[in-house]
Structure 1
Amino acid sequence: MSTIPTAPSLSDIYPPSALPFQSPRWSRLLSTFSSTFSRPATFVSRSPGRVNLIGEHIDYSLYPVIPMAVEQDVLLAVGITPHSPDGGSGDGASGKGSVRIRLRNLDGEKFAPHDFKVWSDGTVEIDSSKLEWSNYFKAGMRGALELLGKLGHAGLEGVDLDVLATGTVPAGGGMSSSAAFVCAAALAVVRAAGVEEVDKKALVETAVVSERSVGVNSGGMDQSASVFGERGSALYVKFVPELEARAVEFPELKEPLTFVVTQSLVAADKHVSAPVCYNLRVVECTLASLVLGKITGVQGKMKGDKSPLGMALRTFHDAFFEGKEKEEGMEGDKKQLEQLLKLVDDYLPQEEGYTREQISDILGTPIKELEEKYMTKFPVRAERFKLRHRAIHVFSEALRVMNFLALIEGSTPTTDEEGKELVKDLGDLLNQTQDSCRDVFECSCPELDDLCALARSAGAVGSRLTGAGWGGCSVHLVPADKVDAVKKAWTEKFYKKRFPDISEEKLSEAIVVSKPGMGSCLVEVGGRESIPE
């Protein structure tokens, strides 16, 4: 069992270059906690954001992805106050005890304070129709209490919690601030309940389901990267037959691989746009799986899975090839995906998409049943569902992930020329992903397209959106000697052109040379107002 680590110092979490910023940040968090709640924090729960290097919008179809955790993170300072069962946090009429939560944010002007109670039976009320920052804490708490119940643990019985939050992961910025918050919240609640060893896999699975309670069909890649992240390494995350994450080391090159993340400054809140963007894509991929299964006669072999709507394209994939001879290893997987792409070309010909009526006819399922099963829990708005486009993107992107992994793990360049060729090949795959996200999956936007075009013209070898899309951020593979030129192109031709009044501080936040960071961790405070570097 791989468990969440406890970090004794900030240098165990961040690289030396980050300490001048992080040390005063942590001190401010802890001192503000003390002044806000008139007592010191007990511990801090931390979970980072992530950048997905490749494997966009395929985690909820249960195909592997390659993300990395980043330095930007969510911190939750937590104080635990014991109380007696009849000490004022109960409901005298019902006899139910409760836990009182006082939730505050360092940015109190933007994020209003919330006080609420959680009943001892684990009930956490969340109104997913409202976009409130407290919902993400409640979502993590709900999942944590369910996990504690499965472990036979009493939960938060006999304690109240004070929580002060702060974060450097941009909200709606494509670096998965929501997953970082939910993971940090779930970890905080499990630790507050007295569980000292928290299983990483259990925390991820809890956080995935938890985030769905705020109205987003979350896949699992974001939470996996946040929890399993390792400094200096990307992650290869797979979901079948079960969740597994392992470190992926980059090959040693004369000029190390440099990934630059840049913000479009177009907020991409999955909760707000979900019915016509993120959740709609989840529904389209699910319907594509069902339709392909029906047309090819393997629907009976397709069993419910752990994807958001219980029937992923990977499940169709496995059912279609069940019992058929397969070449061993990655080459066999690649050939299967190539065959599936040909199959989509043959069996899903409609470029304009499929109506509810057409899908109903193919599946032999009444429209009302289709809507209740796949479009109610997470509502969508669409007249046509582009099953062909979505399936093509998923299968081709899964292929690109395999090729990316093979290049990273199978390459040992011995000359500068071989190193440059490797970087070019990796960049080509990122560019292909952007083309597919823009033209096939249709999750890009003009701002992201401009950032990618400018980066490539200034020397980036690979550029693409990362995260949900429709705004947020982009990731770029840039030779070290081209980083300044790429930054200059963005500054002059994008940021100062589109946002003439942008401050230097905002500009520095918008462009970040990103290195793989540490995943979720705990820091025991013990009454201190600073953490040693």
Structure 2
Amino acid sequence: MSKLVPEIPTIEEIYPAELGAAQKRRWEHLLAKFEERYGAPADYIARSPGRVNIIGEHIDYMLFSVLPMAVNSDFLLAVRVIPNSNTVTIANVLEKYPQRQFQVPAQGELEIDATQLEWSNYFKSGLRGALELLRGKGLTPKNVGMEILADGNVPSGAGLSSSAAFTCASALASLAAMGDGTVDKKELVNLAVVSERYVGVNSGGMDQSASVLGVQGSALYISFHPTLSATPVAFPKTTPELTFVIADTLVTADKHTTGPINYNLRVVECTLAAQVLAKKLNIGQLPEDAGPLGNSFKGLMDKYFSAQGEEEIPLDKKLEELIELTKKYLVKEEGYTREETAEILDVTVEELVQRCMVKFPIQASYFHLRSRALHVLQEAHRVSTFKSLLDSSSASPSSPTDTFIPTKLGAIMNDSHASCKNLYNCSCPELDTLCELARSSGSYGSRLTGAGWGGCSVHLVPQDKVPAVKAAWRKGYYEKKFPGISAEKADSAIIVSNPGCGAVLFRVGK
């Protein structure tokens, strides 16, 4: 895999043939609107896609491996670089997002008010991360301003990581303007992970990794420890062909607004669960790592088995033992109060709040440490099993009509959804309905994807069953929940996608 974000000469390198004509019109429209608005042509377009997570939900921020893929929906930023300026003007092809203008400080941080749900904050976060990366490498960012026009078709709040696509595209656009013209993929991923935290969202790194590192035709097995790595993983060749179908509930899941009771709360609960289990296991302080709050279950696992002198035990066996230890020591199914949690950790409630609940405020009377820990550890085990099945199918291909591997993969996806629903409490009735309808219509496996609480579901479907699945959704979900919904609106909520390519730069006129 190339280390640098590629510069492409033609957009045919990005999209499958069936989308080529429509995407060409979209890019041409963006460039025409840019010149109409700013009176001069754009210099380049920074492009970063959304992603769908196939397996491994809510475990990336605990530093366990995940298996997502980039999708064809993406975020485009047309950019003109203005020499000897510090002014950034950003607009959107959709007029509901008002034009914004701000100045880039020559020194110090670019201020972002994370308390405001403001669309341009995502660009600011990517720009701030780019500035910090360049300065951290001892480089002086070029003294330039930018004129920008944005066009995104990744559904917002749907679990396809529209925010990460926007942030990655913003960081890429900023590095292209203010750096030396080349952008390292892993540096882009790492700065985008940090950047999204500037707008108040705890992000583990999966979304940004899939968006930047995506490989057309392959899912990505992404590991975060000891360093970020992404390995392309192929699905078995079958007859009929396997495909992924993504269905949007049309129920918005906004991590920024609901973070204190949903997404960010889960990050805090997982971190506390790891700390409490470490205390119960008497293994001392957890190592500081890249977890959003400084600790992770991966760190717990490594320290526990290192203390046992058993580092070489296979991952599956380690996870199975930790699952049993969680059941033994985290016994309160109803949850732990702040006072109980603080007492176990030998800190005051005030110290607990300062340690875990100031950077990302939460609202909770009880912490459900047992169920969150069980989900994380069991989901990490599912990812390992899923990848092993794919590896075995690549090493020893079976008959194209053999359904053994697809059936096994689908069962793992179904188990993942059940865990998200019952242990992590991040599903909702709409997601459950879409999954049930798909399974009864021919899907091998169906699960929520993304943060949950609305958003999208992902389904592993044989190509010949796709029409039946889509028809079941239209009749059994969209027409029932949204009476009078147009066929066009219902169809637009469904995406049939195989793995797409990652972030690219397109130089206009070259």
TM-score by structure 2 length? 0.98
What displacement does 1:415 show?
Answer: 2.4
Q: How many residues of Structure 1 are paired with residues of Structure 2 in the alignment?
A: 507
Instruction: Identify which of 350, 355, 372 aligns with 1:368.
Output: 350
Check the 8 A contact 2:63/2:291 in 1, yes or no: yes
1:105 and 2:92 are equivalent in the alignment = yes
What displacement does 1:58 show?
Answer: 0.1
Instruction: Identify which of 299, 303, 317 aligns with 1:315.
Output: 299
Instruction: Identify which of 455, 471, 478 aligns with 2:438.
Output: 455
Paired residues for 1:121-270 under 5 Å: 121-157=107-143, 159-270=144-255
Instruction: Identify which of 461, 464, 473 aligns with 1:481.
Output: 464
* Aligned mates of 2:120, 2:197 — CA distance in 1: 15
What displacement does 1:466 show?
Answer: 0.2
Instruction: Identify which of 85, 89, 100 aligns with 1:114.
Output: 100
Structure 1: runs of 5 or more not aligned:
84-88, 90-98, 529-533
Check the 8 A contact 2:235/2:390 in 1, yes or no: yes
Amino acid at match of 2:458: V
Amino acid at match of 2:88: I
* Aligned mates of 1:480, 1:404 — CA distance in 2: 21
What displacement does 1:508 show?
Answer: 2.0
Q: CA RMSD in A?
A: 1.3
Alignment-derived partner of residue 4 in structure 2: 3
What displacement does 1:251 show?
Answer: 2.1
1:48-107 per-residue CA deviation (whole Å, 9 max, x = no partner) reads 000000000000000000000000000000001112xxxxx5xxxxxxxxx100000000
Equivalent residue of 1:474, what SS?
A: strand
Check the 8 A contact 1:122/1:142 in 2, yes or no: no
Check the 8 A contact 1:251/1:409 in 2, yes or no: no
Instruction: Identify which of 262, 268, 279 aligns with 1:283.
Output: 268
What displacement does 1:256 show?
Answer: 2.3
Amino acid at match of 1:320: Y
Instruction: Identify which of 269, 274, 278 aligns with 2:259.
Output: 274
Alignment-derived partner of residue 334 in structure 2: 352
Paired residues for 1:436-475 under 5 Å: 436-475=419-458
1:324 and 2:308 are equivalent in the alignment = yes
Check the 8 A contact 1:326/1:332 in 2, yes or no: no
* Aligned mates of 2:308, 2:392 — CA distance in 1: 28
1:19 and 2:6 are equivalent in the alignment = no
Amino acid at match of 1:132: E
* Aligned mates of 1:218, 1:364 — CA distance in 2: 28
Equivalent residue of 1:344, what SS?
A: helix
Check the 8 A contact 2:246/2:458 in 1, yes or no: yes
Equivalent residue of 2:403, what SS?
A: helix
What displacement does 1:236 show?
Answer: 0.5
* Aligned mates of 1:307, 1:323 — CA distance in 2: 21
* Aligned mates of 1:362, 1:439 — CA distance in 2: 26
Check the 8 A contact 2:48/2:76 in 1, yes or no: yes
What displacement does 1:505 show?
Answer: 2.5
Instruction: Identify which of 300, 304, 316 aligns with 2:288.
Output: 304
Amino acid at match of 2:326: V
* Aligned mates of 1:426, 1:249 — CA distance in 2: 13
Alignment-derived partner of residue 382 in structure 1: 364
* Aligned mates of 1:421, 1:336 — CA distance in 2: 27
Check the 8 A contact 1:55/1:398 in 2, yes or no: yes
* Aligned mates of 2:284, 2:484 — CA distance in 1: 56
Check the 8 A contact 1:122/1:145 in 2, yes or no: no
1:78 and 2:61 are equivalent in the alignment = no
Amino acid at match of 1:69: A
Equivalent residue of 2:242, what SS?
A: coil
* Aligned mates of 1:356, 1:246 — CA distance in 2: 40
Check the 8 A contact 2:283/2:307 in 1, yes or no: no
Check the 8 A contact 1:173/1:263 in 2, yes or no: yes
* Aligned mates of 1:23, 1:345 — CA distance in 2: 54
What displacement does 1:504 show?
Answer: 2.6
1:43 and 2:44 are equivalent in the alignment = yes
What displacement does 1:122 show?
Answer: 4.6
Check the 8 A contact 2:237/2:400 in 1, yes or no: no
Check the 8 A contact 1:60/1:307 in 2, yes or no: yes
* Aligned mates of 2:489, 2:69 — CA distance in 1: 24
What displacement does 1:416 show?
Answer: 4.6
What displacement does 1:481 show?
Answer: 1.6
* Aligned mates of 2:241, 2:430 — CA distance in 1: 28
1:258-302 per-residue CA deviation (whole Å, 9 max, x = no partner) reads 1100000000110011000000000000000110111111123x2
Amino acid at match of 1:434: H
Which is worse superposed, 188-197 or 284-293?
188-197
* Aligned mates of 1:165, 1:472 — CA distance in 2: 22
Which is worse superposed, 257-266 or 147-156?
147-156
Alignment-derived partner of residue 414 in structure 1: 398
Amino acid at match of 1:54: I
1:281-330 per-residue CA deviation (whole Å, 9 max, x = no partner) reads 00000000110111111123x211011100111111111111435485xx
Structure 2: runs of 5 or more not aligned:
none
Instruction: Determine what percentage of the aligned residue pairs are the same residue.
Output: 51
Amino acid at match of 1:211: E
Amino acid at match of 2:485: I
Moved over 6 A (4+): none
Amino acid at match of 1:410: S
What displacement does 1:249 show?
Answer: 1.5
Check the 8 A contact 2:159/2:452 in 1, yes or no: yes
What displacement does 1:231 show?
Answer: 0.4
Paired residues for 1:454-533 under 5 Å: 454-526=437-509
Amino acid at match of 1:307: G
TM-score by structure 1 length? 0.93
1:426 and 2:409 are equivalent in the alignment = yes
Check the 8 A contact 1:120/1:156 in 2, yes or no: no
Which is worse superposed, 191-200 or 14-23?
191-200
Amino acid at match of 1:205: N
1:109-141 per-residue CA deviation (whole Å, 9 max, x = no partner) reads x21110111111152110000001000000000
Check the 8 A contact 1:122/1:146 in 2, yes or no: no
